[in-house]
Chains A and B, each alone.
Chain A
Amino acid sequence: MGFEVLFKGTNFIRLLEGLGVALRISMISVGISIVLGMILGTLMSLKNPVITVLSRIYLEIVHIMPQMVLLFIVFFGFSKVMGINIPAEASAIIVFSFWGTAEMGDLVRGCLISIPMIQYESSYALGMRRSKTYLYVIIPQIIRRLIPLSINLITRMIKTTSLIMMIGIVEVLKAGQQIIEANRRTSPHVAFGVFATVFLLYFLVCWPISQLSKYLEKRWS
C-alpha cells in the first residue's frame, strides 16, 4: 500500500522534520497572537470610537479574506510593491499572527464585556483599588475563560500551516510530496501510504489538543 516507503532511508524522519517546521511556525504565531490579541481586546473594550471603527475594519478583513490570499499578498505582493523581500517562513508568521491577533482580540473583548458589572462594584465596595480589582478579580476570571479558547486557536493554527507549502516551505505535506516523487517508480502505491500517514500525523497532533480544550471548557464553565 505504499507504507513500506516510509521505512526506507530517512523518509519518515523527513516527514517528522516537516511536521516540526509546521509546529514551530504555528507556536511562534500563537505566542505573538496571544500577546497582541490581549492588547487589541483591551483596546476594543474601551469603546473609543476611532479604535472601534479601525478594529471593525481589521476584524472584517481577517473575517472574509482567506489566509491563502493573505499569504500571497505578503509573500509576493510586498516584494513587488515595496521592494522588501520577506522570507517564506517570516511571511507565514506575519500572516498567521495577523489572523490570530484578530481572533484572539475578539475573544478577549468578548470575555471582558461578559464579566458582569457587579464584579467590579463589589470589589470596589470591599475597598479594593482599581489595580487590585483587575489583578485579583477580573483577570483570573478572564484567563479561565480564555485558556480553552486559545488552545482551540492552536489547533486551527496547526491545521492552517498546511497552506505554507504553497509558498515553498518544506513542511510535512511538501516533504510527503517529495518522497512520493522520489519513489513513484519503485512503488506505485506510494501516494496512498504517504498521504494517509500525513493525514494521521495531523490528526495525532491536533486531536489531543482539541480534546484538552473541550475538557477545560466543560470543567471551567
Chain B
Amino acid sequence: MIDTDVITNYIPLFVDGFFLTVKIGWLGILLSFLIGIIASAVLHFKVPVLSAVVKVYVELFRNTPLLVQLFFIYYGLPVLGFHVSAEGCGIVGLGLLGGSYMTETIRSGLDAVPPSQTESAIALGMSRPQVFWMIILPQAFSTSVPALVANVIFLLKETSVFSAISLMDLMFTAKDLIGLYYDTTESLFLLVVFYIIILLPVSIAGTVIEKKARYKIFGS
C-alpha cells in the first residue's frame, strides 16, 4: 500500500519543510512569550492607556483565526505600504496570535502571586523592576506552566496554516506532492510522521514539566 521508494525520494523534501515549520514555529513562539510578558506586565501594573490597548489587542486576536490574521497581514497590509516577507509574516502572525494567549495566561499567573511577596521584596530594598523580574515573574511562570505548555502545543499545531501564504512548510510540501504526483498515501504518511516528530517530544516534555511544577507547588 505504501511505496518505500517514493518515501525515500520524498524524505529530503519533507526535511526541508520540517526545518521551515520548526524555525517559524519556535521563532513565533519566542515572540509570543515576549509579547505575553510585556503585555501582561502592562495589565498587571494597570498602566493607563496602554492597558486599554492591550485589552483590545488580546480580544481582537483571541477571537479571530490565524489564517485570517495572516491573510490580512500578508495581502492586506501591503496596500498601506507595509511589505512583509512570507516568513516574516508567519513569525509575526504566530507571535501576535500567541502573544494574546500568553498575555491571558501569564496575567492570571501574575495575579495569583500574593501581594505579600511584592511587599516583602520592597521591604528588603529591591527596586520595582527587580521585584518584577526576580520575584513575581518566576512564581507566575511556575503556576501557569500547564497553560503555557498547552499554548505552545496549540501554536505549533497552528503552523499548519502557513502553506496558505505560500511558505514551503510541511503542509505545503504534502499538498504539492499530492497535486503533482498523486502519491497521496505516502505524502500523508510522511506528513503525519514529521508532525509527530515536532509535537510528541513537546507533549511528553510538557507532561514531565507539569508534574515537576505540581510537585514544587503542592508537594505531590
Q: How far does the Cβ of B86 sit from chain A's closest Cβ, in whole Å?
A: 15
Q: Mark B36-79, 1 if CB is under 8 A from A, else 0.
A: 00000000000000000000000110111111110110011111
Contact between A162 and B195, CB atoms less than 8 A apart = no
List the A residue with the shortest CB-CB distance to B78: A191
Is B191's CB under 8 angstroms from A203's CB? no
0/1 string, B141-174, CB within 8 A of A gives 1: 0000000000001000111110110000001001
A64 engages B65 (CB within 8 Å): no
Give CA–CA (A206, B66) in the complex, Å: 13
Q: Would you call A195 and B158 a contact (CB within 8 A)?
A: no
Tell me if A136 counts as interface (CB < 8 A to partner B).
Answer: no
**CB 8 Å contact bits of A188-210 with B (1 = contact, 0 = none):** 11011011101100110011001
For residue B214, CB closer than 8 A to chain A, the reply is no
The residue of chain A having its C-beta at the shortest distance from the C-beta of B186 within the complex is A80
Do residues A60 and B65 form an inter-chain contact, with CB atoms below 8 A?
no
| Nearest CB of chain A from residue B95's CB, rounded to whole Å | 17
Question: A208 — nearest CB in chain B belongs to which residue?
Answer: B63
Are the CB atoms of B63 and A210 closer together than 8 Å?
yes
Segment of B8-16, B121-129, B196-204 engaged in the interface with chain A: B196-204
Given A72-B174, A159-B65, A207-B63, are A64 and B195 neighbors across the interface (CB < 8 Å)?
yes
Would A162 and B65 count as touching, CB distance under 8 A?
yes
The residues of B that contact A176 with a CB separation of less than 8 Å are: 71
Note all chain B residues with C-beta closer than 8 A to A69. Answer: 160, 171, 188, 191-192, 195
Tally of contacts, chain A with chain B, CB under 8 A? 115
* Closest partner residue, chain B, to A81 (CB atom): B185
Main secondary structure of the interface of A (DSSP, over half): helix
Question: CB of B175 within 8 A of chain A?
Answer: yes
A134 to chain B, nearest CB (A): 30
Which chain A residue shows the least CB distance to B200?
A: A64
Asked if B63 contacts A72 (CB within 8 A), the reply is no
Q: Report chain A residues within 8 Å CB of B64.
A: 159, 199, 202-203, 206
Q: Which has the most chain A C-beta neighbours within 10 Å: B71, B157, B161?
A: B71
Residue-wise, chain A 112-135 has the 8 Å CB interface mask toward B (1 for contact) of 000000000000000000000000
Tell whether A199 pairs with B72 under 8 Å between CB atoms, given A2-B79, A155-B63.
yes
- The B172-194 residues at the A interface (CB cut-off 8 A) are 174-175, 178, 182, 184-185, 188, 191-192
Q: How far is the CA of A183 from the CA of B94 in the complex (A)?
A: 29
* Least distance between B38 CB and chain A CB atoms (Å): 23
Residue contact A166 to B164, C-beta cutoff 8 Å: yes
- Is the beta-carbon distance between B72 and A195 smaller than 8 angstroms? yes
A71 nearest CB neighbor, chain B only: B160
Contact across chains for A77 and B184 when beta carbons are under 8 A apart: yes
Complex contacts, A165 vs chain B, CB 8 Å = 67
| Distance (whole angstroms) from the CB of B147 to the closest CB of chain A | 14
In the complex, the answer to whether A77 meets B63 with C-beta atoms within 8 Å is no
When distances are taken between beta carbons in the complex, the residues of chain B under 8 Å from A207 are: 59, 63
The residues of A that contact B188 with a CB separation of less than 8 Å are: 69, 72-73, 76-77
Enumerate chain B interface residues (CB-CB to A < 8 A). 1, 59-60, 62-69, 71-72, 75-80, 153, 157-161, 163-164, 171, 174-175, 178, 182, 184-185, 188, 191-192, 195-196, 199-200, 203
Please list 23 pairs of residues, one from A and one from B, whose beta carbons are closer than 8 Å in the complex, sorted by A's number. A63-B203, A67-B157, A68-B160, A72-B188, A73-B192, A77-B188, A80-B184, A81-B185, A155-B63, A159-B64, A162-B65, A163-B67, A165-B67, A166-B175, A176-B71, A188-B79, A191-B79, A195-B71, A195-B75, A196-B72, A199-B68, A203-B59, A203-B63
Q: A residues bordering B, Cβ < 8 Å? A: 1-2, 60, 63-69, 72-73, 76-77, 79-81, 155, 159-163, 165-166, 173, 176, 180, 188-189, 191-192, 194-196, 198-199, 202-203, 206-207, 210
